[in-house]
Structure 1
Amino acid sequence: MGYVFLAGAIAAEVAATTAMKYSDGFSRLWPSLLTALGYAVAFLLLARTLRSVSIGSAYAIWSGVGTAAIALLGLALFGESLTVTKVAGIVLIVGGVVVLNLGGAAH
């Protein structure tokens, strides 16, 4: 069940970060409120995750998957460029999460 909470935490964090972009520096009410609500839900679900998943694994997955998802959403929604450097960074993040989990962070 911990990984279900973790997936929800990632989704909430990604939604909150995307809403933050739409908030225009917190000058627009509804995206600003969605940002605050999304981060509150993300941290609540991450806290629930930590009841059954090790902190090293949970945080590595949460931050890594969230970062990669935001990079892809930036590309899809906001027309941000995808450079070789960005691709390399995403690959390194995902690789780091895999290495942490294989190396015992999950145990």
Structure 2
Amino acid sequence: MSFIYLLIAIIAEVIATSALKASNGFTELVPIIFTVLGYAIALFFLGLTFKSIPMGLAYAMWSAAGIVLISCVGWIVFKQNLDLPAMIGLGFILLGIVIINVFSKSTEL
């Protein structure tokens, strides 16, 4: 269940960060509401993951997956450029997540 909580936290964080961009410097009310609620949900579910996944690994996976996903949202939705070095770096981040989840025994308390 902890990985479900972590997934919810990641998705909520990506929604919140996307809404933060859409808020246009906190000048648009609806995106501000999504930003605040999204981050609250993200932090709540991230906190639940700490019950069964060590804090450092849970936070690393949360932030790494968030970086990759928000980069994709920026590229697709906000038409922000991702050049080859950026894509390679994001690939290494994804590889790190895979290595942790496939090979590490440290993801359990």
Q: Structure 1 length as normaliser, TM-score?
A: 0.91
Q: State the secondary structure of the residue aligned to 2:77.
A: helix
- Equivalent residue number for residue 106 of structure 1: 107
- How much has 1:47 moved relative to structure 2? 0.3
Q: Give 2:51's aligned residue.
A: 51
Post-superposition CA distance 1:18-45 (Å, at most 9, x none): 0001100001111011101100110000
Alignment-derived partner of residue 68 in structure 2 = 68
State how far apart, in whole Å, the 1-side matches of 2:94 and 2:24 are: 29
Q: Which residue in 2 is equivalent to 1:27?
A: 27
Segments of 4+ in structure 1 off by > 2 A? 95-105
What letter corresponds to residue 23 of structure 1 in structure 2? Answer: S
User: Aligned equivalents of 1:30 and 1:67: distance in 2?
Assistant: 23
Which residue number in structure 2 is paired with residue 39 of structure 1? Answer: 39
- For residues 3 and 49 of structure 1, the distance between their equivalents in structure 2, rounded to whole angstroms, comes to 7
The alignment yields a C-alpha RMSD, in angstroms, of: 1.4
Amino acid at match of 2:107: A
**Is the CA contact 1:2–1:52 (under 8 Å) kept in the aligned structure 2?**
yes
Deviation, 1:55, is: 1.6
Measure the CA separation in 1 of the matches of 2:43 and 2:33: 16
In structure 2, list runs of 5 or more residues that go unmatched: none
How far apart are the structure 1 equivalents of 2:60 and 2:98? 9
Per the TM alignment, residue 100 of structure 1 is displaced from its structure 2 partner at its CA by 3.9
Inter-partner Cα distance in structure 2 for 1:103 and 1:48: 20
Unaligned stretches of 5+ residues in structure 1? none
Give distance in 2, aligned partners of 1:94 and 1:88.
10
Asked whether the equivalents of residues 57 and 97 of structure 1 are also in contact (C-alpha less than 8 Å), the reply is: no
Alignment correspondent of 1:85: 85
Q: Measure the CA separation in 1 of the matches of 2:4 and 2:18.
A: 21
* SS of corresponding position for 2:9: helix
